[in-house]
Amino acid sequence: MKLVALVPARGGSKGIPGKNIRPFCGKPLLYWVCRAAEDCDTIAETYVATDDEAIAAAVRALGLSKVRVIARAPETATDAASTESVLLDFAQRVEFTHLALLQATSPLLTSNDLAQGCARVLEGQCDSAFSAVRQKRFRWTAQPDGSAIPENYDPQHRPRRQDYDGFLVENGAFYVTSHERLLESRCRMSGRIEAIEMPEDTYFELDDLFDWTIMEGLMRRREQVARGDLQARIRGLRLVASDVDGCLTDSGMYYGEQGDELKKFSTRDGMGFRLLQEAGFDTAIITLENTQLMQRRAAKMKVPELHQGAEDKVSVMTAMLAPRDYSWEHVAYLGDDIGDIELLKRAGVSACPADAIPAVRSIVDIVLDTPGGSGAFREFAELILAGAR
């Protein structure tokens, strides 16, 4: 089985011009659903179907490894075209067994929400699934004579909110179905359908600037909660480690007349290691390189653990944790490139310099203000020390 995600992103938004790539909490709007799909292990690949080169360029710049751009057929990008037309066109061009339709206008979607919906369909519990929010509102229907009648309750026996089940409303975040069902029904949902409930604050969709203001406020509230969680994780740290090139250096390669290799280090980073050590933290350096230069630098900074030639940094860190009886939640790691990604994903707190590659910046807890080789590790150390107090 292969489940892929599709994000339709037309360039001709009328309500909010340029909506799909308009900055939302500092990132292009469609980043948030692409990020949710990227973090969902069930989803093999995510395709953004667009007719707009600016959107395509923005997607490529996101630095998400599972996200692809696919051209949207012109007939599916008109004002009158349905989302189903995009799905059916996509189904003719990409191989998959199951499909998750995601909508960029639902930035509060999480990978956990997606995983629930995908699992229900893949496990055969239902044929299609969609995201919904439970609303506890009393609905009325207007009559031709101007009167109104209740739809879902008896005014003579008004239930208390806590005793009222309410009703489900599609929030438009995602829909999951199979390739077979999609082609048979020509609809995003068919057969036995299940609703996957999401939090009440995901009710809104971004249709106008008023919605935008509300949803950015909701996202910022989530980020505040996440920062509180980050502070808790910082307080649990015991070991702080760093890569070398691009973190403790500027990633430049300098050579003298005799062919000897030179590297630029920051004395501020040396002080960062010292401050951590004085505060009781274990410190380490893990690098793919293997040079005497790095041995001398580690010795001068009095870093007790230097691991060079580390092709598998996760294994190196695993070996370091065992004798200390530490777990991954006790680890903080600073990395900047592809070789650091797996370790960054496992670390209790992860960070990267300001000039790290996009694929790293998109997954870490902290993107530092300082570039590599200019005191990035010192900045990271000070953030840890401040949070540990």
What CATH number did the domain enclosing 384 receive?
Answer: 3.40.50.1000
In this prediction, residue 250 carries a pLDDT of 86
Structure tokens given for 10: 């037309």
All residues at 6 or more sequence positions from 159 whose CB lies less than 8 Å from its CB, including other chains: 153
Structure tokens given for 185: 């029904």
Q: Both 105 and 190 in a single domain?
A: yes
Structure tokens given for 152: 């879902």
Structure tokens given for 94: 């990409």
First to last CA, the chain: 49
Mean pLDDT, rounded, for 271-296: 92
> How far is residue 108's CA from residue 215's CA, in Å, rounded to a whole number?
8
Q: Both 155 and 8 in a single domain?
A: yes
How many residues appear in the chain? 389
Q: Both 92 and 48 in a single domain?
A: yes
Mean pLDDT, rounded, for 268-284: 94
Number of domains in the chain: 2
Q: Both 46 and 195 in a single domain?
A: yes
> How far is residue 270's CA from residue 31's CA, in Å, rounded to a whole number?
36
Q: Please, which pLDDT band fits residue 339 given cuts at 50, 70 and 90?
A: very high
Residue with tokens 């007939």: 75
Q: Both 183 and 104 in a single domain?
A: yes
Structure tokens given for 284: 């380490």
Query: Position 233: which residue type?
Result: R
> How far is residue 380's CA from residue 369's CA, in Å, rounded to a whole number?
10
Structure tokens given for 215: 């949803």
Checking if the pLDDT of 259 tops 70, the result is no
Query: What's the CATH number where 30 sits?
Result: 3.90.550.10
Select from 295, 283, 273 the least CA-distant residue to 375: 273
In this prediction, residue 212 carries a pLDDT of 85
Q: Where a domain ends, among 183, 203, 226? A: 226
Q: Both 158 and 17 in a single domain?
A: yes
Mean pLDDT, rounded, for 154-181: 91
Select from 24, 26, 25, 31 the least CA-distant residue to 9: 31
266, containing H or E segment: none
Mean pLDDT, rounded, for 298-303: 90
Q: Where a domain ends, among 177, 200, 226? A: 226
**Range with the lowest mean pLDDT among 12-26, 141-155, 169-183, 290-304?**
12-26
Compute the C-alpha angle 24/25/31, nearest 5°. Answer: 55
The answer to whether position 101 is within a domain reads: yes
Checking if the pLDDT of 162 tops 80, the result is no
Q: Both 201 and 122 in a single domain?
A: yes
In this prediction, residue 258 carries a pLDDT of 63
Burial of 148 (0-12, 13-18, 19+ CB in 10 A): exposed
130, containing H or E segment: strand 128-135
Q: Both 290 and 189 in a single domain?
A: no
Give the rounded percent of residues in the chain with a pLDDT score beyond 90.
Answer: 66
The answer to whether position 231 is within a domain reads: no
Q: Both 251 and 312 in a single domain?
A: yes
The chain-wide mean pLDDT, for the chain, equals 90
> How far is residue 177's CA from residue 157's CA, in Å, rounded to a whole number?
40
Question: What is the span of the domain harbouring residue 289?
Answer: 236-388
Residue with tokens 């069930």: 42
Q: Please, which pLDDT band fits residue 28 given cuts at 50, 70 and 90?
A: very high
pLDDT digits (tens, 9 = 90+) for 190-239: 999 999 999 888 888 787 788 888 888 888 777 766 667 888 899 999 99
Q: Where a domain ends, among 187, 204, 226? A: 226
